[in-house]
Amino acid sequence: MTNIVVGLCSMILVLVTAIGGLSQAFVAHTTAQSAADLAVLAAADAVRGLAAGEPCDVAEEVAKKNGGTVRDCRASMSEQSAYVEVEVEIPGPLPKVKEKAVAGK
């Protein structure tokens, strides 16, 4: 009887740990997408002259304020567009989450 209880408790512990890891991944994905969206909009505003500064510098600042790190940034003055890729770290052994966003043409 004791072995069955220990086995069930172990299974429950593993299940709860897996659910916790998945929730962290979901939160990181949401954070990365939000940071990428806001960063690319800020960069597009800088491209169009609605915000002061270099587009990629503005994007890095906005991404950092929203919990992300800009991995790649491209802005085109001629096309009035911007592209940003942001990554967010997940606590634990899971890899970083990367999200992309485009604004403009």
In the chain the first and final C-alpha atoms are separated, in Å, by 66
pLDDT-based confidence at residue 88 (cuts at 50, 70, 90):
very high
13-49 as b/e: b if 16+ CB within 10 A? eeeeeeeeeeeeeeebeebbbbbbbbbbbbbbbbbee
Q: How would you label 88-100 residue by residue, b for 16+ Cβ within 10 Å and e otherwise? A: bebeeeeeebbbe
Domain chopping of the chain, boundaries: 2-103
- The single-letter DSSP state of residue 62 is H
pLDDT score at 1: 78
Note the maximum CA span of the chain: 74
pLDDT at 86 over 90: yes
Lowest mean pLDDT among 12-21, 41-50, 71-80: 12-21
User: Quick one: pLDDT band at residue 103, thresholds 50, 70, 90?
Assistant: very high
Check: pTM over 0.85? Answer yes or no. Answer: no
